[in-house]
Structure 1
Amino acid sequence: MDSQASAPPLTATADPVPQVRPELPLAPGAAARARELVLRNPADLDSATALLDHVARHARTRPDACAVQDRERTLTYAELAARVAAARDAMRIRGVGAGDVVACVGPRSAHTPVAFLALESLGASYLPIDLGWPEGRVRDVLDRSRPALLLDYSDGTASAAHSAAVAEGIGTLSLPTEGRPGGLDDGPYGDRSGEARYTIFTSGTTGRPKGATIEHRGLLNHLWSKVADLALGPEDAIAFSAPLVFDISIWQMLCPFLVGGRVVVLDDAAMRMPRWLLGALDTTGVTVVELVPTVIGRLIDEIRRKDGPALPGLRWLLSTGEEVYPALAEQVLDTLPHVSLVNAYGPAECSDDVTLHVVTRADLARPRLPVGTPVANCTLHVLLQNDDGAWRPAEPGESGELFVGGTCVGLGYLNDPATTERAFFHDPFDPDSSTGRIYRTGDLARVEDGLVHYLGRDDRQVKVGGVRMELGEIEATLSRHPAVESCAVTVSDEGPVSELVAHYTLRKEVPQQELKQALSAALPPVMVPRHWRQWDALPLSRNGKIDYRSLTATPAGPRKEAR
């Protein structure tokens, strides 16, 4: 048995991510009441076994079954195991071992899960680097994460990452493209529950990225919860569609390996063109796909332009990343009646999704869709902070800030103890928590009839004209107009007073006054934007979400403006 592969499971050390968490100040009686109101979903899931043990099992029992495919190649389970073994050996020769962080750069492809699994076999941690990042951002991420190596499968397109690695004194290694004879013949890989498994650098409010680090047990708990919630089996094909620095990419490229299913890589070209995306989903037989609402809307528009049934093999369509509004959900249910639409919510700091909700026709009458109930082994609390800084639980129907506990909660932010201490606390409610941690999401929520309703970011609750309001409520209302394709609402502080600005794109031309009247009929006058800006296309981040910073920073972008 390989000595590196059978090393004892790691625990987080005090240097990268401190384990000691500050106490959350509570009002008298708050802990007891919070335990009465908590939403939880206990389940007996295997959150310890290495992913590689499952890959090795499939390689023995179904060696010729397809494990992962992209536009250029297909890897069977036997070939996947051989490729992982070769990559593991190459990194071990370069000194990578248990507890190391390895930065990985390359396009979304069949190479990506090979790199991830090879790192797992060494007890090391995966850190994706975006090919589109400028050198300055890459250097910042490398400086903060201190990786042992830069693993490259970019085929020569990662010049910014290489330059940054040289500047930071970090060695590079090209991912081997040939498998090792014998494959994974040195397992089993055993209990990995306490190892740091991956880090995703997310945008911080200060403008600097922060690296959310997830343990193996959080990852595996999330993967098995997806298997249970979506009833996944060996016949399923999961679309690997997300940018690699978006947390949903992790489950998309790994979950099928638990059940012997298939990973289908959708490249950036397909994701940019709805016609190509529809064709790729259809020809590859994808059964499960998770997309941001903007991409879902474009996909549905493309399907409606075609005659006949669409995507007959698709079973599940998950919406994530930002709020999906009832108007778009209704279009999905009408256009793809055989597909179950799931509204998913979760922060990168908590192993991705922490709630799921299967959208029903009855939900469409709601002003905003619920995000549902907790996934397996996640606990949810909605809390309010008193004037003295102490927290108390929000009563049913009362809005507050969402906190997440349980197996899903990550370790914190890599090499950033100050930021970690502002968001991760010792869990004061659950003495039996497997992590002992609770995460403050910064998201507003409300619980009604046992369902969580997401109310937007705390920092998207604004005060205009002396009235506190949620920008998401205005967006949800505007999205109901049949001519509106996409929309966003921001606040302009350019004048003497703050004013609301509505940004939108249209399916068909309508007067701006008609849109304004639609909002006036549903919202108080102070919540109707004074400025209206029509765009050819709203600016998006690389993750496909609406880029609110660009909306406010690019006055030349809109086609029209009216007051």
Structure 2
Amino acid sequence: IAIFKAGGAYLPLDTRAPISRQAQILAQSQSKWLLITSDFDDTSSQVCAALSDDAQLHVLRLDELITAGASQENLTASDSTEDVGARLAYVIYTSGSTGLPKGAMVEQRGMMNHMLAKIRDLRLTADDVIAQTAPQSFDISVWQFFSALILGGVVHIFPDQVAADPLGLLQETAAQEITILEVVPSLLRMMLDELSEGAPVDLHKLRWMIPTGEALPPNLARQWLHFCPQIPLVNAYGPTECSDDVTHYFVTEPPAASVVNMPIGRPLMNMRMYILDAHQQPAPIGVAGELYVGGIGVGRGYIHDPERTAQAFVPDLFSTDPQARLYKTGDKARYLPDGNIEYLGRLDYQVKIRGFRIELGEIEAVLEQHPAVYQAIVMDQADPTGNKRLVAYVAPADDESESRLTTSRLRAFLSEKLPDYMTPSIFITLAQMPLTPNGKVDRKALPAPTAATWGAQNEYVAPQNELQAQL
């Protein structure tokens, strides 16, 4: 709040990240001030030591500033005629495909529009108690913290160890009478595990459960509404580059068994969503294309990175404002006849193996329909001969289910629903999927098949020509 009052912007650093990454972010962003408490003296010293000699970074210890006293001279309203909405509000770094993090810049107007949309759509009031489950380096922390302050409500900040503990999170949600809770689907899965095992928690005050950050599997929605039918889900979708969420989809009834992908809903107020084909033209209803985001929430781009900004932020040819831009999400989606948008996965999760174009998300969705499968991730990996093959990672629904997750059974199950060329060559069973610090599935941490694993399972050879494919 003080930074906003001064007309500045903030960049949160994840102190759990490696020192080299923290230093890389400070250097790339050309930050001038590092605000810390004395608890992080050692960390900040290591980060500063990792910076180049020409870095002009000044370290300020907040607890020392507080004890030293402060002047009230700067507390009066500013007479500036500057467009406050156009000011930079914050910079949050996301991972980049090249291995270099990208600092997404979000303006005040985008940040405020998202918070006001949350207040309107969730019907938030001063009586609400909003859980802050995300670290400051995760974009959902912004609305979790500030929305309650706008309303005069309460924000309850969960310690990291509680926010990452499914049972502890449920217990604290009940004890603090939380009304709004937002988590990633991976954590929601583990919370449902606790509920299924009879965790003694009373969630009668909880009004909304908001899964975000990953695609919401339909079976997860069904499970939640089975245990908590009175608490609707809000399937929220949005990239950091566009001020966080840009769509909401309200789930009050368990999705039908035929639903493979949960819709992500409709645009928030003052936002626009386009699904465009390869020629930048709107795709017909029901036809898949790339999802583009327009409107007030589209950010400035990536800080000090004009090349990657130009790649992801393109002119908005559908707007009358010549300065308007669209954000190119890299996500595949389609409009449904009812006006909702269906998320179909990442475009970069589309692979080509032996000439066949394959959507990895489709295989994952079908695998998760198997009663013994709790969660599934499919990736393409090179075998010892260098050929690309599909590898499926599956987590069992319970201890008894693990014995049912044999290669032959899973292949037989998939053969009833998918073409043969979409059947993985390798199935690896994991007790649970590895997660990133933000609670999302960490695909990079999935174990690669060993040479013995490649040889232990029967090799599947895809059709080599059109005749074989037809046969």
Give TM-score, length-normalised by structure 2: 0.88
Q: Could you say what secondary structure the match of 2:421 adopts?
A: helix
Kindly indicate whether residue 248 of structure 2 is the aligned counterpart of residue 356 of structure 1. Answer: yes
What does residue 24 of structure 1 align with? none
Q: Specify which of 1, 4, 7 is matched with residue 123 of structure 1.
A: 7
How far, CA to CA, are the matches of 1:219 and 1:276 in structure 2? 30
Q: Specify which of 514, 524, 527 is matched with residue 419 of structure 2.
A: 524
Q: Specify which of 494, 498, 505 is matched with residue 388 of structure 2.
A: 498
Q: Specify which of 151, 171, 180 is matched with residue 259 of structure 1.
A: 151
Flag the 1:248–1:553 CA change in 2: closer, same or farther, 3 A.
farther
Flag the 1:140–1:195 CA change in 2: closer, same or farther, 3 A.
same
What does residue 145 of structure 1 align with? 29
Preserved contact between residue 446 and residue 454 of structure 1 (Cα < 8 Å): yes
Kindly indicate whether residue 61 of structure 2 is the aligned counterpart of residue 174 of structure 1. Answer: yes
Q: Percent identity?
A: 38
Flag the 1:199–1:158 CA change in 2: closer, same or farther, 3 A.
farther
How far, CA to CA, are the matches of 2:44 and 2:448 in structure 1? 27
Letter paired with 1:162: S
Letter paired with 2:264: V
Letter paired with 2:434: P
Q: Could you say what secondary structure the match of 1:363 adopts?
A: coil
What does residue 336 of structure 2 align with? 448
Q: Specify which of 103, 116, 134 is matched with residue 242 of structure 1.
A: 134
Preserved contact between residue 170 and residue 201 of structure 2 (Cα < 8 Å): no
Kindly indicate whether residue 295 of structure 2 is the aligned counterpart of residue 412 of structure 1. Answer: no
Q: Could you say what secondary structure the match of 2:428 adopts?
A: strand
How far, CA to CA, are the matches of 1:328 and 1:363 in structure 2? 10
Kindly indicate whether residue 223 of structure 2 is the aligned counterpart of residue 331 of structure 1. Answer: yes
Flag the 1:151–1:194 CA change in 2: closer, same or farther, 3 A.
same
Letter paired with 1:469: I
Flag the 1:229–1:189 CA change in 2: closer, same or farther, 3 A.
farther
Matches within 5 A, 1:292-307: 292-306=184-198
Q: Which segments of structure 1 move beyond 4 Å, counting only runs of 4 or more? A: 177-185, 188-191, 552-556
Preserved contact between residue 218 and residue 409 of structure 1 (Cα < 8 Å): yes
What does residue 269 of structure 2 align with? 376
Preserved contact between residue 355 and residue 373 of structure 1 (Cα < 8 Å): yes
Letter paired with 2:388: S
Letter paired with 1:130: D
How far, CA to CA, are the matches of 1:320 and 1:459 in structure 2? 20
Preserved contact between residue 164 and residue 439 of structure 2 (Cα < 8 Å): no
Q: Could you say what secondary structure the match of 1:332 adopts?
A: helix
Q: Which runs of 5+ in 1 are unaligned?
A: 1-116
How far, CA to CA, are the matches of 1:183 and 1:521 in structure 2? 73
Flag the 1:189–1:246 CA change in 2: closer, same or farther, 3 A.
farther
Give TM-score, length-normalised by structure 1: 0.74
Q: Could you say what secondary structure the match of 2:403 adopts?
A: coil
What does residue 197 of structure 1 align with? 89
Q: Could you say what secondary structure the match of 1:125 adopts?
A: coil
How far, CA to CA, are the matches of 1:535 and 1:224 in structure 2? 41
The CA deviation at 1:469 is: 1.8
How far, CA to CA, are the matches of 2:420 and 2:22 in structure 1? 45
Q: Could you say what secondary structure the match of 1:151 adopts?
A: strand
The CA deviation at 1:519 is: 2.1
How far, CA to CA, are the matches of 2:215 and 2:122 in structure 1? 21
How far, CA to CA, are the matches of 2:446 and 2:138 in structure 1? 21
Higher relative contact order (CA 8 A, sep 6+): 1
Q: Could you say what secondary structure the match of 1:303 adopts?
A: helix
Letter paired with 1:473: E
Q: Give the number of equivalent residue pairs.
A: 439
Letter paired with 1:501: V
Flag the 1:499–1:158 CA change in 2: closer, same or farther, 3 A.
farther
Q: Which runs of 5+ in 2 are unaligned?
A: 459-471
Matches within 5 A, 1:31-50: none
What does residue 464 of structure 2 align with? none
User: C-alpha root-mean-square deviation of aligned residues, in Å?
Assistant: 2.4
Q: Could you say what secondary structure the match of 1:361 adopts?
A: coil
Preserved contact between residue 344 and residue 361 of structure 2 (Cα < 8 Å): yes
How far, CA to CA, are the matches of 1:413 and 1:554 in structure 2? 36
Letter paired with 2:270: N
How far, CA to CA, are the matches of 1:401 and 1:326 in structure 2? 22
The CA deviation at 1:189 is: 8.7
How far, CA to CA, are the matches of 1:402 and 1:209 in structure 2? 22
